[in-house]
């Protein structure tokens, strides 16, 4: 191929049903397809090594999916992990020009337009791997970088080029800290101090739900048992958590729009006196931190939850702003009770 000399290409990919349906294009890229994909990506020339790998196997999930790092990132202090590498094409959701391809992350999630986002991670949008063309120009040889959505899109160097990245991937067993991470997350949700926003909410709902704080901890603990870490995505228990947080928040706040619920407008100084979703469960103020938090989040998941709840009538506009309907609150309490019973 002119690249990857001596590399175990056959043993590199894990062709699971998920990989074949989400990542793997059925045919190798033709010159015509490459040209059209590069144009759609913004004129970035894909590295020859990328095209060589895709010619042999057009996208997929690697069996070796961890890369050692000298600098810490939001993922870990000494490594990053990837879920898959995007194929050259459009027929799979995760292909470079598929439904969740490179431009999706730039246009919809506001990732910086520095090149081509070619690999995603298990964080489901919290961080991505990109081919970075800032130094070389659109037709040069890009480096590989890690882009951290949770850290204001901080960019960390990963590898000098795509081939070095692929050949440097190692098995996850080299960095298996899952049990340690799980125990740390459980300690956080069981004993970590709540944000002032949640503490105020617990006080406000005490007559209706006197053990509101315990129910939140039990739900968070269930999420950690499901995932091995504390993060909210689009799963059933995350949705229940979004519902619960919104109900708690509206116990003493008026919500006039999704954007205001998510984050206080930039013209206002961040303060627990002007609470929002981020200050409730995601980030704490440096001067007054708290422990019970996800430490980062993907706004798209929260927005999808909001849109679905408004569309279904679970959340409705009232004279006092958006609020959960009585039926939705009853369903919320039933869901919380079921989680408590399961534990």
| pLDDT tens track, the chain, 343 positions | 478 988 887 789 999 999 999 999 999 999 999 999 999 999 999 999 999 999 999 999 999 999 999 888 878 788 999 999 999 999 999 999 999 999 999 999 999 999 999 999 988 778 999 999 999 999 999 999 999 988 889 999 999 999 999 999 998 888 777 788 899 999 999 999 999 999 999 999 999 999 999 999 999 999 999 999 999 999 999 999 999 999 999 999 999 999 999 999 989 999 999 999 999 999 999 899 999 999 888 899 999 999 999 999 999 999 999 999 999 999 999 999 999 888 6
pLDDT score at 174: 84
In whole angstroms, what is the distance from residue 331 CA to residue 12 CA? 46
In whole angstroms, what is the distance from residue 197 CA to residue 328 CA? 22
Return the closest-CA partner of residue 233 out of 310, 166, 296. 296
Q: Which residues contact 56 (CB under 8 A, 6 or more apart)?
A: 1, 9, 28
CA dihedral 22, 98, 123, 283 (to 10 degrees): -150
- For 14-54, give the DSSP string: ---HHHHHHT--SSPPPHHHHHHHHHHTTSPPPPHHHHHHH
DSSP class of residue 269 equals P
* CB 52 within 8 Å of CB 85: no
Q: Which two tokens stand for residue 274?
A: 């002007």
pTM of the model: 0.56
pLDDT score at 10: 73
Is the sign of the CA dihedral 232, 234, 240, 246 positive or negative? positive
In whole angstroms, what is the distance from residue 35 CA to residue 86 CA? 16
Give, for 156, the enclosing helix (H) or strand (E): strand 154-159
- 71 CB neighbour count, 10 Å cutoff: 10
**Angle at 163 (CA atoms; ends 56, 126), nearest 5 degrees:** 100
Q: Which two tokens stand for residue 106?
A: 């730039």
């Amino acid at each position: 191929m002119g690249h990857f000399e001596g590399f175990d290409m056959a043993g590199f990919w894990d062709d699971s049903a998920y990989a074949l349906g989400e990542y793997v294009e059925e045919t190798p890229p033709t010159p015509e397809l490459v040209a059209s994909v590069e144009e759609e990506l913004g004129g970035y020339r894909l590295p020859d090594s990328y095209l060589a790998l895709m010619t042999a196997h057009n996208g997929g999930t690697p069996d070796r999916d961890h890369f050692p790092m000298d600098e810490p990132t939001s993922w870990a202090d000494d490594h990053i992990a990837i879920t898959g590498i995007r194929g050259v094409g459009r027929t799979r959701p995760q292909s470079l020009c598929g439904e969740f391809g490179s431009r999706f992350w730039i246009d919809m999630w506001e990732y910086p337009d520095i090149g081509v986002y070619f690999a995603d991670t298990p964080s489901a949008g919290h961080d991505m791997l990109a081919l970075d063309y800032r130094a070389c120009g659109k037709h040069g040889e890009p480096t590989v970088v890690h882009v951290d959505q949770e850290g204001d899109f901080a960019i960390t160097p990963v590898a000098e080029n795509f081939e070095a990245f692929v050949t440097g991937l190692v098995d996850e067993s080299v960095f298996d800290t899952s049990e340690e991470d799980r125990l740390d997350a459980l300690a956080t949700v069981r004993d970590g101090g709540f944000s002032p926003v949640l503490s105020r909410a617990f006080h406000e709902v005490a007559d209706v739900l006197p053990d509101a704080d315990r129910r939140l901890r039990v739900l968070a603990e269930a999420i950690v048992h499901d995932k091995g870490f504390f993060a909210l995505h689009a799963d059933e228990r995350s949705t229940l958590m979004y519902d619960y947080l919104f109900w708690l928040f509206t116990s003493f706040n008026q919500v006039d729009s999704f954007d205001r619920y998510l984050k206080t407008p930039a013209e206002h100084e961040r303060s627990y006196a002007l609470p929002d979703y981020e200050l409730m469960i995601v980030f704490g103020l440096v001067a007054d931190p708290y422990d019970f938090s996800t430490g980062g989040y993907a706004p798209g998941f929260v927005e999808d939850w909001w849109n679905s709840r408004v569309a279904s009538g679970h959340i409705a506009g009232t004279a006092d702003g958006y609020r959960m309907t009585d039926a939705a609150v009853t369903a919320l309490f039933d869901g919380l009770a079921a989680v408590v019973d399961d534990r």
